[in-house]
Structure 1
Amino acid sequence: MSFTGALGLMAMFLVDLVDMLFLSMLDEKEAVAAVGFASTLMFFTVSLSIAVSIAATALVSRAIGAGDMALAKRRATHVLAFGVLFSLALVWLIWPRIPQLLYFIGANFRTLDLATDYLQILVLGMPAVMIGMIGSGIMRALGDARRAMYATLLGGVVNAVLDPILIFALDLGVEGAALASLAARFSMVAVSYYGVVHIHKMLGEFELMDFLKDVRPIAVIAVPAMLTNLSSPLANAIVMAHGADFGDDAVAAIAIIGRVIPVVFGGLFALSGAVGPILGQNYGARLFDRMYKTLSSAVIYSAIYCILLCTGLYLSQEFLIRTFSATEATAEMIRFFATFVSFSFFFQSLLFIAIAAFNNLGKPLNSTLLNFGRATLGTWPLITIFGYIMGADGVLFGQAVGSVIFGLIGFRMARRFIRELEVKSLANG
């Protein structure tokens, strides 16, 4: 589940990395910084889509674990309807306010203009992202991780093919990168729709009264999950805003690192999508021994993954610097991240595991508190202090320290919560 999820997530985030790579070839650092600012806001919208997909995974996997396929199909249909309506409302709300939002997080002058052009195109693809993510969540709940991966893999391929054509051959620059990404997002919909509807036949007829009944259980999971997921882009926005104080070189470095992280650490980001449905199904079947083994296996997986990938990132740092034509100031931040900061992602993976447990086992508010704690108390004071002491590098280091603290706290809370569920289950016979 983690491996296929990792490949799928890496492919999706590779879309942004490919955009950054081709735009860096234009030899215009404002273009790279613009995509960094735009992607910071886009991360908010993608996080909301992931939150609704978490609700789909949790509700469908529990119904399957309890042996109620009719309920699973009904919930799948209604989560999808909920997601489409919600994403359309977001497009209506965000699109006219894009310049103000970008200015708020530090974009200005030509960087602001380029970021606005990029984001105004990309935001139109939000409903496609929502449908694709929910479809993948439903397939993961069914255990079909391979087909869920195909949707995001296709998106990466479409983007990689269209980027050079639109950016260079048609000379569209930043707008070409946005159009390529938009096409990639719509390609995800086709694969997800085919898997959910034609292969698994998981969508039934939409019934308004049943939908209204299901809105509450969907919202009980989706709303706290949205708040939880919004905390990560909030932390990134705080980091980007603090980085802007050190100039466009620092912003470009943070933007490049921000695109590299999901590709390199996609296997850790995939943990929530892998651990969640496994915990959900086993909780539905009251198999607590398997739930404990899932947590232990996830930690072992994270440790091995971090050792291998962080070592690889350290060894390839100069290649990244050359590939993105980084200035010396930008290069120094990339080296600092690859050498000292990247290993903190093991502790961040502990937080991902804890969040998956709380979201899928009926305690999503805990996930919200943990992630917002990391995004606020674990980010802003620390990057302010370390930024003052260490300069631009301190912005990265402060965020890493926060990840270590909240990762350890979150994992301990998750194990204790599963133990409480087991005790309660035994007491109820």
Structure 2
Amino acid sequence: MSDGLPPPAFAGPGRFVTGSVMRHVLVMSGTGSIGLMAIFVVDLLSLLYVSRLGDPALTAAVGLASVVQFFATAVNIGLMIAAGALVARAIGAGDRVLARRLAASAIALGVLVAGILAAAMLPFAGRLLSLVGAKGEALRVADLFLTITLPSNVLLGLGMLFTGLLRATGDAVRAMWVTLGGAIVTAFLDPLLIFGAGLGVEGAAITVCVARATFVIIGWRSLARHGLLRMPRPAEVVADAPAMAAIAGPAVLTNLAPSVAAAFLTHLFAGYGQDAIAAAAVIDRLTPVAFGGLFALSGAIGPILAQNWGAGRFDRMEATLGSCVKATLVYAAGVWVLLILLRGPLAGLFGLRGIAAELFQFFCLVGGAIWFFNGLLFLGNAAFNNLGFPLRSSLLNWGRATLGTVPPAYLGSALFGPKGIIAGMGIGSLVFGLAGLALARRTVSRLAERSALPVSGEGSTGIVTGELAFPPGAGHDTRGR
């Protein structure tokens, strides 16, 4: 039945169910890299601007605030993953009515959850900062930074949802511009407020809020072009919430694991003074810039897998995993070489000296290997979240955040100081990265095997939904097509 709107751009078969799998992977990850790395670059520039103020406590404060704030971001990521997975599957199956309904429900739920979370965290910001090792001036400045930026978590959550929904339709270019637009605003506004207006760290925080508002404006206009925007209906939001929660809940747990691990590692680094915290803050901001392609690859694999699952194309799902592994290896190796060659100049650029410079340069020497295996784990997590097995990604991520981080980091710290903390991180990445990839391949194979089994009373093949199902009463046929 017509809903009175022109047919959206995704009417018909999903974009990813035909054509070269490697091309889809490269286009999605390439455009995703531009948008993501634009954000990471300006984040890095913000830290660079703050470091130019000449006070290591300010640099440490921005890093500490980022650790706490990522707990809220992890929830937003989980909702984005859930919305993208469900909408991409509906598109792959050719059900545009269900896709619009799920998008509307996801937006309503995302705004509600992001607002509640920001309101709950704000009164306890100072206490949370103390738990990760903030003290003195660094604690005061980090608390001020969070007081300004946490309320804009609603804008961040909405912008991330728009990005995930656009990628679910296969519109990688517009998804890129959501984040790229905010990054451009940040690049211009940051120096004006930090130095021109003399606001320092407060200026950096205000810029964060403006950039998040930019995400929403661009994302809203882009989704309107696809016909995915309509008013949410309360009854549908309530009915769709369990399906969203089935993916978002485990996905949030998955993304909280790195936050918990980062908080633990920051606490360990804090034992070596503010210089060590400053070095860790630079590493945290440089890592997404250097390895942003790996984050983009994990984002690229989700919609491709989900659309092909909705279409019953398991051969293309297996090819997608293989293509992503090859891209991960080539990308991580190239970045590793650059980090090794530029480790000295980069340390000098951020004014790192003494123990801070040593710690940063050691990361450059080993970071490529660590992040190759992190990339494999990212691919596995994306596969589980989009194929109806999000609990598997939660178990793997929490395994790495606990067994793969705490014992080796403690041991490394005791034997080799702060460098040993980084080495300990590498051990967990290796073990859980390989495990994630192996389990992802097995999951796709098992889904393909089960799809060949007759559906009771139908005599046709069926797509197994694992731990996930479409909302009841949505009118979607989950049989193979």
State the match for 2:196 in structure 1.
169
Match of 2:392 in 1: 366
User: 1:204 deviation in Å?
Assistant: 2.1
User: Is the contact between residue 67 and residue 262 of structure 2 (CA under 8 Å) also seen in structure 1?
Assistant: yes
Cα deviation, residue 232, structure 1: 1.1
CA-CA distance at 1:15 after TM superposition: 3.3
Q: Which moved more, 1:66-75 or 1:180-189?
A: 180-189
How far, CA to CA, are the matches of 2:414 and 2:343 in structure 1? 25
* Counterpart contact for 2:370–2:425, Cα < 8 Å: no
Amino acid at match of 1:275: I
2:348 to 298, 302, 322: 322
Paired position in structure 1 for 2:416 = 390
> What CA distance in whole angstroms lies between the structure 1 residues aligned with 2:33 and 2:214?
19
Partner of residue 81, structure 2: 54
Aligned to 1:291: 317
Match of 1:15 among 42, 51, 61: 42
Q: SS of 1:327's equivalent?
A: coil
- Indicate yes or no: 2:135 matched with 1:131: no
- Whole-Å Cα distance in 1 between the matches of residues 35 and 267 of structure 2? 29
**Structure 2 counterpart of 1:183, which letter?**
V
After the TM superposition, which residues 244-393 of structure 1 pair with which residues of structure 2 at under 5 Å, given as runs?
244-393=270-419
Say if 2:166 and 2:223, in contact at 8 Å, map to a contact too. Answer: yes
Opposite residue 378 of structure 1, the aligned amino acid is G
- Residues 118 and 153, structure 2, Cα contact 8 Å, conserved in 1: yes
Contact kept? 1:341, 1:397, Cα under 8 Å: no
Alignment check: 8 A CA contact 1:232 1:371 kept: yes
Shift of 1:205: 2.7
TM superposition shift of 1:48: 1.5
Cα separation, 2, equivalents of 1:146 and 1:235: 33
Once residues 166 and 357 of structure 2 are traced to their aligned partners in structure 1, the CA distance between those partners, rounded to angstroms, is: 41
Determine helix, strand or coil for the equivalent of 1:316: helix
Look up the SS of the partner of 2:86 in the other structure.
helix
Q: Please give the alpha-carbon distance, in whole angstroms, between the structure 2 residues aligned to 1:205 and 1:109.
A: 47
Cα separation, 2, equivalents of 1:35 and 1:399: 22
Deviation at 1:397, TM superposition (A): 1.0
Aligned pair partner of 2:206 in 174, 179, 187: 179
- Say whether residues 1:401 and 2:433 are aligned partners: no
Q: Please, which of 419, 434, 442 is the counterpart of residue 416 of structure 1?
A: 442
CA distance in 2 between partners of 1:221 and 1:272 (Å): 16
How far apart are 1:86 and its partner, in Å?
A: 0.2
Secondary structure at 2:134 match in 1: coil
Q: Which runs of 4+ in 1 moved over 6 A?
A: none
CA distance in 2 between partners of 1:417 and 1:406 (Å): 16
Q: Deviations over 1:64-114 (max 9, x none)?
A: 111100000000010011000000101110111100100111001111001
Contact 1:15 1:155 in 2 (8 A): no
Distance (whole Å) between structure 2 residues aligned to residue 157 and residue 255 of structure 1: 22
> Match of 2:229, SS?
coil
Further displaced range: 86-95 or 320-329: 320-329
1:200 to 226, 234, 237: 226
Once the two structures are overlaid, the 10-residue window that deviates more, 204-213 or 252-261, is 204-213
Task: Tell me the distance in 2 between the aligned counterparts of 1:319 and 1:3.
Answer: 27
Q: CA deviation at 1:371?
A: 0.4
> C-alpha deviations, 1:188-227, integer Å up to 9, x for none?
1111001012x11102232111111000101101111000
Separation of aligned partners in 2, 1:13 and 1:231 = 20
What SS does the aligned partner of 2:452 have? Answer: helix
Moved more, 223-232 or 204-213: 204-213
Q: So what's the TM-score if we normalise by structure 2?
A: 0.88
- Residue identity matched to 2:137: R
Alignment partner for residue 159 of structure 1, among 172, 186, 197? 186
Give, in whole Å, the separation in 2 of the partners of 1:119 and 1:76. Answer: 30
Matched residue SS, 2:44: helix
1:238 to 240, 245, 264: 264
Name the counterpart of 2:15. none
CA RMSD of aligned residues (A): 0.9
Match of 2:116 among 80, 84, 89: 89
Q: Identity rate of aligned residues, in percent?
A: 44
Q: Any conservation in 2 of the 1:15–1:181 contact (CA below 8 Å)? A: no
CA distance in 1 between partners of 2:271 and 2:91 (Å): 51
For 2:180, the aligned partner's letter is: L
After superposition, the C-alpha distances for 1:121-168 in whole angstroms (9 at most, x for unaligned) are: 111210111111100101101000111011111111111111111111
How far the C-alpha of 1:270 sits from its partner, in A, is: 1.3
Output the amino acid matched with 2:247: I
Q: What residue number does 1:220 align with?
A: 246
TM (norm. structure 1) is: 0.98
* Counterpart residue number, 1:425: 451
What secondary structure does 2:170 align onto?
Answer: coil
Contact preservation (8 Å) 1:225, 1:364: yes
CA contact (8 A) 1:147 1:195 kept: yes
Give unpaired runs (5+ residues) of structure 2.
Answer: 1-27, 455-460, 462-481
> What is the letter of the counterpart of residue 349 of structure 2?
T
Say if 2:335 and 2:368, in contact at 8 Å, map to a contact too: no
Give the alignment of 1:105-124 within 5 angstroms: 105-124=132-151
Name stretches of at least 5 consecutive residues in structure 1 with no aligned partner.
none
CA distance in structure 2 between the partners assigned to 1:65 and 1:126 by the alignment: 31
2:29 counterpart of 1:2: yes
In structure 2, the partner of 1:104 is 131
Match of 2:235 among 195, 200, 209: 209
Aligned length: 428
Deviation at 1:272, TM superposition (A): 2.1
CA distance in 1, matches of 2:38, 2:80: 18
Contact 1:386 1:395 in 2 (8 A): yes
